[in-house]
Amino acid sequence: MGIYLPIAEISVNVFVLLAMGAAVGFLSGMFGVGGGFLITPLLIFYNIPPAIAVATGANQVIASSFSGALSHFKRGTLDFKLGGVLLAGGIVGSTAGIYVFALLRRVGQLDLFISLLYVVLLGTVGGLMLVESVNALRASRSGAAPVLKKSGQHNWIHRLPFKMRFRASKLFVSVIPVLGLGAGIGFLSSIMGVGGGFIMVPALIYLLKVPTNVVIGTSLFQIIFTSAYTTLVHATTNQTVDVILAFLLMAGGVAGAQYGAKAGQKLRGEQLRALLAMLVLAVAIRLAVDLFVTPPNLYSLTAAGLN
């Protein structure tokens, strides 16, 4: 069944989009990630213009992180204060990102920049995760107990000024790295259409030493608002949010997420992480190949005077 997307201005198959949403929802439920980093490239592979894929991806991320954050809120595994400071940084980063987005679009380099960012970030994160999980798998096979990082360990981040106390996270840390992290994620959110959970979660755990139980809830909490803000600004400055497209993805996504979560419980942590790492790397490689392969048409047309 075909449907016409009013903003993307192309006809697409409803079932393909629902299935895409469900598949990404399944994976995001299984791995506990937002899925924005998969949705946006998939939409681009499906010939949705990158500018629209990014803005709509941000919109879709709200739905999955909202339903995720709700359950963490009920369980009390959410640090509002930490989330709030991250969010303050996020708004700044996202505003800067939107500005860069509009600028790149005007000079015709947006598609390239989005692809490059995806290749670099997904390649790095996927590669690190794969190495880490393969090591963990090897260690558990040889019977050695996994080496846990001591939570009391301090690094350079803990020597920065402007310290603030975050009670729910049992943390006393400078606001600079928290704001910076929020800003970085906000920037990526507006340019890549991702929630940023796949960077936020490891950064909170390894850099700020936030207890693992509050990490996901807090990350989801801040992602809701950063992507809501990103969606709003994209809608007003670039008019690139396609609600029909977003809704189809969300509808498939929320359904898929529940089954994914169940499937995730049957697999072990290291296996899950290794699988996710391979998936992330596969997306990065696919995008990288497109950068190097001679395009079928060297010339492209765009309406002049955008923005």
Partner 1 sequence: MAARRAFAAAVSLSMLFALSPATAQTPPAESIQIGLSTDAISITAGFSGADLTIFGSLENPDPLVARQGRYDVIVVLEGPPRPVVVRRKDRVLGVWINLDSETFENVPVSYSVATTRPLQDIAEPAKYKQLSLGAQNLYMKPADETDSPATIEEFTAALRDRKAATGLYSENVGGVQFLSQNLFRATVRLAPNVPVGTHKARAFLFKSGMFVKESSAQLEIRKSGFEQSIFRVAHDYSFLYGVFAVSLAMLTGWLGRLIFRKD
Chain positions contacting partner 1, by CB under 8 A = 2-7, 9, 11, 59-60, 62-68, 70-71, 108-109, 112, 224, 228, 231-236, 239, 241, 243-244, 246-247, 250-251, 253-255, 257-258, 262, 291-295, 297-305
Q: Enumerate the β-bridge partners of residue 166.
A: 171
Among residues 129 and 261, whose Cβ is nearest to partner 1?
Answer: 261
- Measured from the CB of residue 148, what is the shortest distance to partner 1 in angstroms? 28
Among residues 151 and 236, whose Cβ is nearest to partner 1?
Answer: 236
Among residues 9 and 146, whose Cβ is nearest to partner 1?
Answer: 9
For residues 196, 275, 60, 16, the Cα torsion angle rounded to the nearest 10 degrees is 150
Most distant CA pair in the chain: distance in Å?
63
Where does 76-158 have alpha helices with state H?
80-107, 110-141
- Measured from the CB of residue 235, what is the shortest distance to partner 1 in angstroms? 3
Among residues 181 and 224, whose Cβ is nearest to partner 1?
Answer: 224
CA-only gyration radius of the chain, Å: 19
Among residues 166 and 229, whose Cβ is nearest to partner 1?
Answer: 229
Among residues 135 and 258, whose Cβ is nearest to partner 1?
Answer: 258
Q: Which long-range contacts (CB under 8 A, 24 or more apart) does 122-127 make?
A: 122/37, 122/280, 122/281, 122/283, 122/284, 122/287, 123/281, 123/284, 123/285, 123/288, 125/198, 125/199, 125/202, 125/280, 126/277, 126/278, 126/279, 126/280, 126/281, 126/283, 126/284, 127/277, 127/281
| Placement of tokens 């075909």 in the chain | 2
Among residues 78 and 130, whose Cβ is nearest to partner 1?
Answer: 78
- Measured from the CB of residue 182, what is the shortest distance to partner 1 in angstroms? 19
* Cβ–Cβ < 8 Å for 181, 89: yes
- Measured from the CB of residue 73, what is the shortest distance to partner 1 in angstroms? 11
- Measured from the CB of residue 30, what is the shortest distance to partner 1 in angstroms? 14
The helix (run of H) or strand (run of E) holding residue 188 is: helix 175-192
Among residues 44 and 130, whose Cβ is nearest to partner 1?
Answer: 44
- Measured from the CB of residue 62, what is the shortest distance to partner 1 in angstroms? 4
DSSP-derived 3-state class of residue 203: helix
- Measured from the CB of residue 95, what is the shortest distance to partner 1 in angstroms? 14
- Measured from the CB of residue 231, what is the shortest distance to partner 1 in angstroms? 5
Which residues are CB-neighbours of 102 under 8 A, at least 6 positions away? 237, 238, 307
